[in-house]
Chains A and B, each alone.
Chain A
Amino acid sequence: MGASAHAPTAVAAVNDDAFKDIARGRIAVWWFLASEIMVFGGFITCYVLFRYAHGGWEDAARHVNWKLGAVNTVVLLTSSLTMILAHHAVKVGDKQGVKTFLGLTIALGLTFLVIKGFEYHAEFAEGFTPLSGLFWSFYFLMTGLHGLHLLVGIIINLSLLVMALRGTIWACGDRVELGGLYWHFVDVVWIFLFPLLYLT
């Protein structure tokens, strides 16, 4: 009885040693991102295997607008830059910089979604829907899910911007880093979706 009463304390001590140098928020976000890697990784794997198995998707893939996709790629890469600059501004105590770069990141995220909206509109107008074939099912599923993730990132950045405007962000500046990890992950997903859906 006495030994078992001490067991939880011993376990806690071991865990504290293992994680003492890592901010718990970063572990939590990376853990969440690991589950996201499996979600997008699963879809990408299915897409590659289905395409390998069935072939003939080139004709469908020719209808996506690679020029708008390329513009969106640059928009998202630039938003990753402004996000990391917002994080850097927090680190160096640049109050105006935090607001400016978070605002730019939100604006670039919204730009991406608006361009994606124009793409969807044109594709629907041409008669391509998620039911138009396997390629289109995958296309709308993966880009739609990615867009939803971007929307969540925009909401996170909006809440960070409100905190920056109120001056309360300095008490918990690491939240910009955590929000940034999520934002960069969404960028990494697009880095693979763009060639997968637009260039091959």
Chain B
Amino acid sequence: METLLESAATRAHYIAIWRWLVVLAIAALGVSLLPISKIAALVLIFGIAVVKAAMVMRDYMHLKAETLIIHAIALIPILLFIGLALTLIPDIALRH
């Protein structure tokens, strides 16, 4: 059981993460309205999305405290669908 002080610190940490998530969401919106090249906007917007997802998984889903087995279970399907996309991109690029 956590002490009162630890409990308050944990809650403050969760609220701080939420604040960062909202700030990053607003930043992504801002980037989409900026007059910059489409590629730069896409990189920034999806970079922000990856950071937000990593924060939720690390701090709210407690991946930072999980074992190697849980990390492997989470990571393998992500690598699989990234591999699927990378495998198919040359086919599409050559056809179109």
Which A residues are within 8 Å of any B CB, using their own CB?
A: 18-19, 21-22, 26-27, 30-31, 33-35, 37-38, 41-42, 44-45, 48-49, 52-54, 66, 70, 73-74, 77-78, 80-81, 83-85, 88, 91-93, 180-181, 184-185, 187-188, 191-192, 194-195, 199-200
Q: Which of chain A's residues have a CB closer than 8 A to the CB of B52? A: 191
**B4-44 interface mask toward A, CB cutoff 8 Å, 1 = contact, 0 = none?**
00010011001101100110010011001000000001100
B81 touches A45 (CB 8 A): yes
Which of A27, A88, A93, A199 is the one whose CB lies under 8 Å from B10?
Answer: A88
B77 touches A27 (CB 8 A): no
| Known A21-B67, A195-B32; further 20 A-B contacts with Cβ < 8 A | A18-B69, A22-B69, A26-B70, A27-B73, A34-B73, A34-B77, A41-B81, A53-B92, A74-B25, A80-B60, A85-B11, A85-B14, A88-B11, A184-B60, A185-B61, A188-B57, A194-B25, A195-B45, A195-B46, A199-B45
In whole angstroms, how far apart are the Cα atoms of A85 and B92 in the complex? 45
Closest-by-CB residue of B relative to A50 is B92
Chain B interface bracket (under 10, 10 to 19, 20 to 34, 35 or more): 35 or more
B11 touches A77 (CB 8 A): no
In whole angstroms, how far apart are the Cα atoms of A8 and B66 in the complex? 28
Q: Which of chain B's residues have a CB closer than 8 A to the CB of A180? A: 60-61
Q: Which of chain B's residues have a CB closer than 8 A to the CB of A38? A: 77, 80-81
Interface centre among B15, B76, B81 (most CB of A within 10 A): B81
Closest-by-CB residue of B relative to A69 is B29
A41 touches B78 (CB 8 A): yes
In whole angstroms, how far apart are the Cα atoms of A21 and B65 in the complex? 12
Interface centre among A19, A81, A181, A185 (most CB of B within 10 A): A81
**B58-96 interface mask toward A, CB cutoff 8 Å, 1 = contact, 0 = none?**
001100001101100110111011001100110011011
